[in-house]
Structure 1
Amino acid sequence: MQNSYASYRIWNLVFGWSVFAIALFTFGSTVEPTASFWDAGEYISTSAKLQVGHPPGAPFFQMMGAFFALFASGPEKIALMVNYMSVFSSAFTILFLFWTLTLLLKKLPFFKTLDSIPDHIGFFGSAAVGSLSFCFSDSFWFNAVETEVYAMATLILSILFWLGLKWEEEMNTSRGDRWLLMIAFVIGLSFGVHFMGLLTIPALGMIYYFKNYKKITLKGFIYANLISTAILLIIFKLLLPSTLAFFGKAEVFFVNTMGLPFNSGTIIAALIIIGLFYFGLKFSQKRNLVNLNTGILAILFVFLGFSSWIMIPIRANANTVINENSPSDARLLLAYYNLEQYPETKLFYGPMFSDVYAGQDPDRPYIDDKPK
């Protein structure tokens, strides 16, 4: 049997969709029939009616949940159908994990010697064992059968790393950047589910480093990690928060100072950003600045993915029953994004999880205030 691309593709598809079917049957047969007694109940309610949940929100997750809720035969089946969103998300996670493993196994010398059916079964079977091991792991299975963002967030992680490996295969070709733009779009989508999708950025940075630098050094490895982490922080802490802040300041200026109607500042800010992208792309194409053009497109695709967040102020202005923090304008949406309702998180210093606070009011120790 010749080890051709067509042969590999057929085996890859057959084994991939087989492990998907196994995962789908496993999770579908053990799915939670109703709401679980923690965040799942809130996610089901906010998804079914497109309401505003706790910060920082999960608008894309909720819109997908609303789609699944459409298939409920009655109100009592809404929770079950939204739970099935996690079932399908987790099954697709196993599918992309399998395809990720086969892409990695292709790098081994053994792949070039595949010639017989037993060889192919051993090659693709090893990837199936790896992906199904994750399928039956306790934590993943637990999230796969209830309405929680971690099932879809894990799917985004698996898709992003698979896209990174596909990008690596065509990185220095004329069409290689299409994978980079798809990665940027999915990163933007991840903000509508859970921020942990951003954690693939350092891994993608390593893929780029090992692909383009034949001589690997400790110094280069450290620099690659630092640059990848910087890109993560720029997207998470600078690009999107600064954009929301710009919308908020534009709204205040054009309404309070210029006397224009409400939301006029938001519309003007959106037109300014669209204009910047238009002229930036036109300039880079005219000057044949390929890298600049690709960078602008990547940022644009991040914004396109992030656009699911528009749902939050729209539904907040509709005054839904569940409307936590009521992020009805750009300034409130920024506070919602930054988790300002929660205590400050100290990553490198501060109190330990086991600390016991002392000196509280003996009669009202749990008043809504910081420890005295």
Structure 2
Amino acid sequence: MTHFSFKKWNTLLGWFSFLIALTTYSLTVEPTVSFWDAGEYILTSSKLQVGHPPGAPLFQMFGAFFSMFALEPSQIGLVMNLMSAVASAFTILFMFWSISLLLKKIITLNGEFTPSKQVAVLGSALVGSLAFTFTDSFWFNAVETEVYAMATLIMSVLFYLGLRWEQDMDKPRGNKWLILIAFIIGLSFGVHFMGLLTIPAIGLIYYFKNYKTVTVKNFIVANVVSVAILLFIFKLLLPNALKIFSAFEIFFVNSIGMPFNSGTIIAGLVLIAAFYFGIKYTRDKNYTHLNTAILCLMFIFIGFSSWLMLPIRANANVVINENDPSDARELLAYYNLEQYPETHLFYGPLFTDQYSGLDENEPYVDDKPNYEKDYETGKYVIINDWKNAKQNYNHEHASIL
């Protein structure tokens, strides 16, 4: 036991749990399509087509890579299902390493990390990761072509990176992990939005690292700030970026008379210039925290750039082209799920037996205008009757949540 290497066995047992998970899922993988969204994902991924909103372009690009290994068309479904098996096995790998990091942190707080304690940590991590390997819901997702297997992998990677950031947070280059976290968060938009749910956990990792005295007040503040960061990225940062691209596109085409997509290109150049000068200015002035924040925002956008696949393939007129997100305005509608009924996140109507009417003062409100390219005039034209097109609920029968 005197020559016991925790780092070596941590690596070996992590990959051992990966192999067990990969073997299990590969032996039990669906032989073909299963009866829900899996069929659409198999088809749109193998041919890089446009599926239903809000899309999964990064998932589809990985799927196109895996589908190349099919020896014949009938095997594409099986190979695509194996992609989820591989993603799920990597989830178990990062789960093992996350458990070992957490347990090592707890044990070293109370004394020396002796060889017997190291064995206990490794054994616990192995049991914990393999227990999750055989859970019903996770195993179900691991053997079919759905985004949840890869989305769970992203969550697993993000939490592991959060723990690595906690280890190096006080070092000069410790924030490299935070920038990598930002990049993975951007990538998660190309798979499934559930990857963002790791942000509050990472926020609490930062909180417990830097606040030695935990009170009810600062704990509540930490949770509120963490959720605010999540909502900022999901509801403000990227939707408003797409709104800016949409506004630039319509302005430069309809008002200036430039060709289609010229406004999108100009908005992209403005965004790149803003990041360049922001990083240069904060570096010259030695604004370390602001520089890190700008780098994080930039890497979120770099990760989010997988969404460029959607307008590129939509303009290629592929067979499956749901909602046709071929320009900036349609891509914004695609992101905002405008084809679905409106949902109220914090405040909305109560659908009780007594309520069935509209707002007395303003029964109808304007809907969103639907722009489409008119190649004869070279402009974007509104093709829907959007004025007073949407019902407005009775505000006397509304409530928080």
| 1:153 equivalent in alignment to 2:151 | yes
Does the CA-based 8 Å contact 1:86-1:152 persist in structure 2? Answer: yes
SS of corresponding position for 1:173:
coil
- Specify the alignment match of 1:45 in structure 2: 43
- Specify the alignment match of 2:160 in structure 1: 162
Higher relative contact order (CA 8 A, sep 6+): 1
1:45-124 aligned within 5 A: 45-109=43-107, 112-115=112-115, 120-124=118-122
Does the CA-based 8 Å contact 1:3-1:112 persist in structure 2? Answer: no
- Specify the alignment match of 1:210 in structure 2: 208
1:1-372 aligned within 5 A: 1-2=1-2, 7-109=5-107, 112-115=112-115, 120-347=118-345, 349-350=348-349
Deviations 1:170-195 (A, max 9, x none): 00111111000000000000000000
Does the CA-based 8 Å contact 1:3-1:114 persist in structure 2? Answer: no
Name the % identity: 65
Q: C-alpha displacement at 1:3, in angstroms?
A: 7.9
- Specify the alignment match of 1:366 in structure 2: none
SS of corresponding position for 2:115:
coil
Does the CA-based 8 Å contact 1:23-1:91 persist in structure 2? Answer: yes
Does the CA-based 8 Å contact 2:104-2:121 persist in structure 1? Answer: no
Q: Distance in 2 between matches of 1:27 and 1:315?
A: 32
Q: C-alpha displacement at 1:115, in angstroms?
A: 2.4
Q: Distance in 1 between matches of 2:184 and 2:106?
A: 29
SS of corresponding position for 1:106:
helix
Q: Distance in 2 between matches of 1:160 and 1:220?
A: 24
SS of corresponding position for 1:169:
helix
SS of corresponding position for 1:112:
coil
2:275 maps to a residue whose letter is: F
Q: C-alpha displacement at 1:261, in angstroms?
A: 1.1
2:303 maps to a residue whose letter is: G
Q: Distance in 2 between matches of 1:283 and 1:12?
A: 42
Deviations 1:210-255 (A, max 9, x none): 1011111111011111111111111111110111111111111111
Gaps of 5+ in 2: 358-389, 392-401
1:198 maps to a residue whose letter is: L
Q: Could you tell me the TM-score, scaled by structure 1's length?
A: 0.92
Q: C-alpha displacement at 1:107, in angstroms?
A: 1.5
Greater per-residue strand proportion: 2
CA, structure 1 residues 270+25, in 2 after alignment: closer, same or farther (shift >3 Å)? same
Q: Distance in 1 between matches of 2:92 and 2:240?
A: 36
Q: C-alpha displacement at 1:259, in angstroms?
A: 1.0
Deviations 1:6-39 (A, max 9, x none): x121010111000000000000000001011100
Q: Distance in 1 between matches of 2:105 and 2:184?
A: 25
Q: Distance in 1 between matches of 2:218 and 2:224?
A: 10
Q: Distance in 2 between matches of 1:244 and 1:113?
A: 50
Q: C-alpha displacement at 1:121, in angstroms?
A: 3.7
Q: Distance in 2 between matches of 1:2 and 1:187?
A: 41
Q: Distance in 2 between matches of 1:164 and 1:345?
A: 32
Q: Distance in 2 between matches of 1:91 and 1:143?
A: 12
Q: C-alpha displacement at 1:109, in angstroms?
A: 2.7
CA, structure 1 residues 113+265, in 2 after alignment: closer, same or farther (shift >3 Å)? closer
Q: C-alpha displacement at 1:57, in angstroms?
A: 0.1
Q: C-alpha displacement at 1:120, in angstroms?
A: 4.1
Q: C-alpha displacement at 1:358, in angstroms?
A: 9.7
Q: Distance in 1 between matches of 2:246 and 2:3?
A: 58
Q: Distance in 2 between matches of 1:206 and 1:159?
A: 16
Q: Distance in 2 between matches of 1:112 and 1:23?
A: 33
2:158 maps to a residue whose letter is: L
1:174 maps to a residue whose letter is: P
Q: Distance in 1 between matches of 2:207 and 2:287?
A: 22
Gaps of 5+ in 1: 360-368
1:203 maps to a residue whose letter is: A
Does the CA-based 8 Å contact 2:183-2:299 persist in structure 1? Answer: yes
Q: Distance in 1 between matches of 2:119 and 2:195?
A: 32
Deviations 1:150-184 (A, max 9, x none): 00000000000000000000001111110000000
Greater per-residue helix proportion: 1
Q: Distance in 1 between matches of 2:64 and 2:75?
A: 13
SS of corresponding position for 1:62:
helix
Q: Could you tell me the TM-score, scaled by structure 2's length?
A: 0.85
SS of corresponding position for 1:107:
helix
